[in-house]
Every structure is written in C-alpha cells, then in structure tokens.
A and B are shown apart, each in its own frame.
Chain A
Amino acid sequence: ILNVEQSPQSLHVQEGDSTNFTCSFPSSNFYALHWYRWETAKSPEALFVMTLNGDEKKKGRISATLNTKEGYSYLYIKGSQPEDSATYLCALNYGGSQGNLIFGKGTKLSVKP
C-alpha cells in the first residue's frame, strides 16, 4: 500500500513568519508530485507539479523542492500572511494513471495577524 505522509498535521504561525512543511512518499514508485492549497468549501488549488529529482518551483512567496531519491518534498512559505491560511496537500502520482493521485492528509496552516 502506497502512503503519502505529511508533517506537521497543523501549524500556527504569526504573520510575517516563514514556514515549511514536509511530504514523504515511497521513492520507488515516483512519477510526479503535486502540491495543492485547499480552503474548506473551495476547490483544491493546484500549486505545483514536480517530476524531476532536484526540481525547485516557485509561485510568489511559495516554493517547493523535490528529492525523489529519498522520497520527500518541502513546501516553503516566506513571510506568511493571514490569507495563506489553508490546508496544504501533497499527492503522489505513482504511474498507475496520471490522475490516480495518492493524497496525504495535509498540513493545516493558520496564520495569525
């Protein structure tokens, strides 16, 4: 059974703090790693799709890195803002089919003004 683990489960930071979360996955079945930002009652919003070992991607204050050999990805948020409060999900595409993603439980981020 393939498992995707995310840590921490939840995180409370002050506005302006920088933070990061971890996504761990089995390195033997890797095709792509997806990061999503998800606010309750809204659509999960795609942040990054990463496919190559060593990939680094950036979108505004959010960036992500990927290590497929050791099976982890980090998501970084620089200078957190209250609007960054959301659950951040990572999902592994293990190659069965491109849409068959194995999701982690997410890291719930709360940013206090």
Chain B
Amino acid sequence: DTAVSQTPKYLVTQMGNDKSIKCEQNLGHDTMYWYKQDSKKFLKIMFSYNNKELIINETVPNRFSPKSPDKAHLNLHINSLELGDSAVYFCASSQLNRRSSGNTIYFGEGSWLTVV
C-alpha cells in the first residue's frame, strides 16, 4: 500500500483553467503538507494542515488553496493557472509531536503539472 498517494501523477492543462491535485495518506498522521519543486529544483513548503487547521502558509499566491475534507486528505486547488505554475507538486504527511523536533515526513511521488 502506498503511504502517501497523490493524483493525478501527470496533468497538462491550459492557462486560465482551474485544477485540483488530490492527496491521501493512510499512515494515520495528523499533519499533511504540500511542497513545490521550483525551477531551481528546490523543494519548498507551500502549506501544511494539522487537525484541519492551517499552520503554515508560505508566500504563495492566493490562487492556490489547500482543502482538507478530513485528516487523511489534503487536496490542492489551483485557480486561473499560469504558465509559471508548471512544476512538480509533492504531498507529504507526518505525525506532529510537540515534544520532539525529529519526526519523519513521508512524501508522495509527486504530481507533474504542465500549464500550456
């Protein structure tokens, strides 16, 4: 079983469209994240959700919105797609432990988004 799964794996869409990438984790974790691999190949945090509360929101455009229907899912919605949104988006999850800073974060395989 895949621990963190995201769909679709590949998505090609036109500028101006609205699209979603879904993410599910079966690890029982209470925190989920979205990362973006930028043009310089760095993985950068976009959002995280802990018990349905947004606890990180980096400086991403408000066209991007995370939606969490339950603890096991964190979907990424993108409105009015732009060419610069083309990237690989990774979902991840972990179990938040306030007494430890060393919790493993588990990643999905990534979703390749191409905006044309």
Interface residues of A (CB under 8 A from B): 31-32, 34, 36, 41-44, 46, 49-51, 89, 91, 93, 95-101, 103-106
Contact = CB atoms under 8 A, between A and B. Distances in A.
16 contacts: A31-B101, A32-B101, A32-B102, A49-B104, A93-B101, A96-B56, A97-B56, A98-B101, A99-B92, A100-B45, A100-B48, A100-B56, A101-B43, A103-B43, A103-B44, A106-B41
B105 interface: yes
Interface of B: 4, 31, 33, 40-45, 48, 55-56, 90, 92, 94, 96-97, 100-110
Given A43-B110, A46-B106, 6 more contacts: A43-B109, A46-B104, A98-B96, A99-B45, A100-B45, A105-B40
Given A99-B94, A100-B48, A43 B4 contact: yes
Contacts of B56: 96-97, 99-100
If over half of A's interface residues share one DSSP class (helix, strand or loop), that class is named, otherwise mixed; here it is loop
Nearest to B37: A103
A99 B93 CA distance: 8
Contacts of B4: 43
B108 A101 contact: no
Contacts of B105: 34, 46, 98-99, 101
A89 to B, nearest CB: 7
Contacts of A46: 104-106
A112 to B, nearest CB: 23
Nearest to A103: B43
B101 A42 contact: no
Given A49-B104, A97-B56, A98-B97, A89 B109 contact: no
Given A99-B31, A105-B41, A49 B102 contact: yes
A45 B58 CA distance: 24
Given A99-B56, A103-B43, A43 B107 contact: yes
